[in-house]
Amino acid sequence: MAKLMNLHRAARLVGVTRGALQKKIQDGDLESFDGMITLDELYRAYPDASLENNSVLEQVEQIKEMAFGRRILERSLPDKEVLAARLHDLSKELVEAKALLNHARIMLDGLGHELEAIIVQGGAEAKFAQKLSNWLHAQRMQTPPASDAARALLIRDNFLRVISAQVKILPSGEDFFVEGNDSLLEAALRAGIPLTYGCSNGSCGKCKARVISGEIKQVRPHEYIIPPTLQAQGYALMCSCTAVSDLVIEGEVAQAPSDLPDQFIGGAVRSIEHPTDEIAVIHIKTPPNERLRFLAGQRAVLTLDRSLSAQLSIASCPCEDRHLEFHVRRMHGNLFSDYVFDRLKPGDAVLIRGPLGHFVLNTESQRPIVFLAFCNGFAAVKSLMEHAMALDQAESIHLLWIATKESGLYLPGLARAWADALDNFHYVPIVVGGDLDATASRQENAVARTLGPKLLAIPSLTRSDVYIAGPELAVDAMKKILLGLAVPENQIYVDSD
């Protein structure tokens, strides 16, 4: 029977995004069976997929070169016991496949002998037996149908199964890979899947989920003890266990902002960077037992010096454990901004309340994505962009970062790095000059004249989900321009200051 694999696994095997595979299926260039793809069909659609292009294999080559340098080994490979268990499972499959093959060979030999006997006896059946015998002989003389390259794909798939495991979550149906010694929680968050959790260090029990099939192993200590009745049903802590084999688990995933609780956390400033004179990037660390659970694109209220508060977009990824990042614009006379630029220092206490807002990715959608960030609206877009990269399901992503002057594009290296790393990502920096925020509402036509052609240059604009973040007037003006360009209103998502 042909080997079937799901889209996520197939995309990883040939080094493309899930969105790209989805597009091929929609265009009729790739056949799928209930969302599954055969290896032969995958190879037919991607005949150029080669082992040399596989980044995971490159990584392993690197490991070999560095004589199994400890740091890289720890990051990319699971521990010895997990590797041994996966190799054992694979060996078992190999033994079973060999036994089946042997059995098939014995049956074919037996069939050949039976046919010979009928031919020797002569009579009416002999003619048919001879024909069948000739066909059987011709088939046995042929080389197996799979080409070397298709076999290489199969080898690569088996290799990936040894160094990582795939986890399917029920009832949501989402799936993710567990690499190295990551816990199941870390791997899920890194893949953009907000599994329910609390402390992330084994003390609260909120991350417990039921393992329906497959084998897990504890890789982090935990204080919380799962009640024996739940243990007997297969419950385990996602923050302290990793996957030994492919798993199916039953667990809660936050699907919308309303699924997340209000949280108040006391954190501390870890560092403050000033990429330009106009922007402060604040890095905040939460206490060891507390994490802010949020969805990419959401906001939080920061309170400094016990009384100065501001609501800001969270620029970091929800997967970044105890680290939170915020971008603050210099606004002379604004007490919060002045405090950040003039007095805030590493180690200062910060009260964080959140998460807030509904500016999150529509994860149900497989439409192309367009991000429009005005000035430090980039903070929310950065978080969404990282989420979109982790989900890997958009056919294409365009980022237009718009500022009134060059320095307003304050992290250009990051956007360019995304463009270098991702085939389906396109970055367009735009400097419009003047005070866009102030003139947007009065001179909408002028704004449309400046930005309209850049938007029209995006081939998939009208069938894209468009996310706009930045100052309110600029965001409102942009929304009107998009509606004027026939982008459906239900595909436009906005976040404004």
What residues line the site for ligand FES (CB under 6 A)?
Answer: 197-200, 202-207, 224, 237, 239
Can you tell me the distance from the alpha carbon of 299 to that of 289, in angstroms, rounded to the nearest whole number? 21
Q: How far is the CB of 239 from ligand FES (least distance, A)?
A: 3
Could you tell me which residues come within 8 angstroms of residue 86 by beta carbon, excluding any fewer than 6 positions away?
78, 161, 162, 165, 244, 245
**Antiparallel, parallel or unpaired: β 241-243 and 308-313:** unpaired
Can you tell me the distance from the alpha carbon of 497 to that of 302, in angstroms, rounded to the nearest whole number? 15
Specify the residue, 225 or 232, whose C-beta has the smaller distance to ligand FES. 225
Specify the residue, 205 or 377, whose C-beta has the smaller distance to ligand FES. 205
Q: How far is the CB of 8 from ligand FES (least distance, A)?
A: 25
Can you tell me the distance from the alpha carbon of 164 to that of 187, in angstroms, rounded to the nearest whole number? 11
Query: Is residue 328 within 8 Å of 312, Cβ to Cβ?
Result: yes
User: CA separation (Å) from 476 to 34, 371, 382, 437, 442?
Assistant: 42, 15, 20, 10, 12
Q: How far is the CB of 451 from ligand FES (least distance, A)?
A: 44
Query: Is residue 163 within 8 Å of 61, Cβ to Cβ?
Result: no
Q: Per 3-state DSSP, what percentage of the chain is helix, strand, and coil (rounded to 5)?
A: 40, 25, 35
Q: How far is the CB of 47 from ligand FES (least distance, A)?
A: 45
Specify the residue, 209 or 380, whose C-beta has the smaller distance to ligand FES. 209
Query: Is residue 402 within 8 Å of 432, Cβ to Cβ?
Result: yes
* Token duo for residue 370: 């367009």
Q: How far is the CB of 289 from ligand FES (least distance, A)?
A: 9
Query: Is residue 259 within 8 Å of 221, Cβ to Cβ?
Result: no
Q: Using the Cα atoms of residue 285, residue 330, residue 493 and residue 7 in order, give the sign of their dihedral.
A: negative
* 3-class SS of residue 295: coil
The closest of 202, 343, 296 to 493, measured between CA atoms, is 296
Query: Is residue 257 within 8 Å of 299, Cβ to Cβ?
Result: no
Q: How far is the CB of 208 from ligand FES (least distance, A)?
A: 7
Specify the residue, 239 or 379, whose C-beta has the smaller distance to ligand FES. 239
Specify the residue, 32 or 196, whose C-beta has the smaller distance to ligand FES. 196
Can you tell me the distance from the alpha carbon of 433 to that of 403, in angstroms, rounded to the nearest whole number? 8
Query: Is residue 336 within 8 Å of 310, Cβ to Cβ?
Result: yes
Can you tell me the distance from the alpha carbon of 256 to that of 298, in angstroms, rounded to the nearest whole number? 11
**N-to-C CA span, the chain:** 57
Specify the residue, 19 or 198, whose C-beta has the smaller distance to ligand FES. 198
Q: How far is the CB of 293 from ligand FES (least distance, A)?
A: 10
Specify the residue, 77 or 207, whose C-beta has the smaller distance to ligand FES. 207
Q: How far is the CB of 319 from ligand FES (least distance, A)?
A: 14
Specify the residue, 19 or 202, whose C-beta has the smaller distance to ligand FES. 202
Specify the residue, 237 or 284, whose C-beta has the smaller distance to ligand FES. 237
Specify the residue, 156 or 222, whose C-beta has the smaller distance to ligand FES. 222
Q: Which helix (H) or strand (E) holds 469?
A: strand 465-470
Q: How far is the CB of 481 from ligand FES (least distance, A)?
A: 44
Q: How far is the CB of 232 from ligand FES (least distance, A)?
A: 19
